[in-house]
Amino acid sequence: MGSWALLSVFQLFELKKVALLHMTTKNGLSYRVARPWLLSLFCLFISVQGFGSEGGYSNYIPGFYGDIALALEPEEGLSMRNDFYFYRADADLAVRSGQVEVGIDVELSFDYLSLLYKPGIEIFGAQYAYGATFVAGRVDIEGSTQVGPFSQEFSDAKNSYGDITLVPGIFYWNNDENWHFSQSFYVVAPVGDYDDSDTANTGLNYWTFETDFAATYLNESTGQDYSFVFGYGYNTENDDTDYQSGDEIHLDYVLNQFVSDSVAVGIHGFLYKQISGDSGDGALLGSFKAEASGVGPAVMWLPKRYEGKAALVAKWIHEYDSENRIDGDHVFLSFMMSF
């Protein structure tokens, strides 16, 4: 999820007699598209181009919902996951045959620490777990505007902490040999570094409440892992800007194949849609709705010396179809361990 970013979960499971650790993470970082002095320029192309969600992004980040068997319940005890996340995106907007032009480049480098605890409690026939994700990192923004012969460049950067994601509950139902299901609840708390006078921010300054339903088909004999997550997120208003990003839905999918007891390769992707428009006095460009999709490869390695209690994951998701939302490339390098 967006200012940025998204939630966290960990999962531990056994495949071909190997316990595999999985965890997702969500938490936050953000940026604003332009300083106040650029507002008049953006208003010039209100009818031509705009961004859904404040700043063109939200607390939803593709790829932060897991890597392996997303709905399979973890073992009892504490698990941790550390994600290094890099994102680069750009947007070029033009009006009236290029008479007004705006260019934006965004780079994000963040480190996420996620903790999940499964106490061994059963609620409503499901195994229960809870946790949290903490984030810190850097955001860099460069841009330029041009109106006829006049041009202006701007840039900003910030190294700081981001919004905290709380996971009050994840419920796992695993009553079948191959099929597994889970229901998750996330709350992104706006405690990150935010100043509405800055172009770059590591916090979004609004709450996000999200619930996700996940389903996994896991075939131990063939090494196939097909997982899907459907989520719905509600965003509150940013009190400093009087801007409220619209409600969102997303479908994330993971298609993995184990090629050995310790190595899996996969295709990971997502579909995203904003189902209600932006609102509030700060939504001067209108109630734009964003859409996006993307896909990319993933590699997962579980070192045998750790007997399934640790895993390394690398993946890249390329956004290929976006509307009213900046698009770019998401890169993850992740390490997971259970205790």
Cβ atoms of 20 and 223 closer than 8 Å? no
Give the span between the Cα atoms of 279 and 246, in whole angstroms: 7
Divide the 339 residues of the chain into consecutive groups of 10 and give the mean pLDDT of each group. Answer: 30 29 37 36 37 60 88 90 92 53 85 95 94 95 80 88 96 88 96 89 93 94 94 92 88 96 95 84 66 95 82 94 83 91
CA–CA distance, 27 with 323 (Å, rounded to integer): 23
Region class of 33: left (phi > 0), else alpha (psi between -120 and 50), else beta:
alpha
Which domains can be identified in the chain, with CATH numbers? 9-338 (2.40.160.40)
Q: Angle at CA 302, nearest 5°, toward 300 and 303?
A: 135
Q: Tell which residue, 152, 53, 65, 162, has the closest CA to residue 108.
A: 162
How far, in Å, CA of 305 to CA of 221, rounded? 23
Encoded amino acid at 31, one letter: Y
Alpha-carbon dihedral 115, 120, 122, 128, rounded to 10 degrees: 10
Yes or no: say if 6 and 64 are a contact pair by the CB < 8 Å rule: yes
pLDDT of residue 281: 67
The per-residue pLDDT for 33 is 35
pTM for the structure as a whole: 0.80
Give the span between the Cα atoms of 94 and 244, in whole angstroms. 25
Neighbours of 322 (CB within 10 A): 20
* Residue 168 near residue 189 (C-beta atoms within 8 A): no
Predicted local confidence at residue 213, as pLDDT: 97
Are 59 and 238 in contact by the 8 Å Cβ rule? The answer is: no
The runs of H, that is alpha helices, within 24-154 are 39-44
**Which residues, 6+ apart, have CB-to-CB distance to 257 below 8 Å?**
223, 224, 225, 264, 265, 266
DSSP string across 143-178: EEEEETTEEEEEEEEEEEE--EEEEEEEEEE--SSS
Give the integer Cα–Cα distance in Å for 43 and 136: 33
Cα 182 to the center of its chain, rounded Å: 19
Cα separation values, 57 from 203, 242, 249, 327, Å:
12, 16, 14, 9
Q: Is 124 exposed, middle or buried (0-12, 13-18, 19+ CB in 10 A)?
A: exposed
Task: Write out the two tokens for 311.
Answer: 């895993």
**Token pair of 137, please?**
């990192």
Q: What is the per-residue pLDDT for 143? A: 84
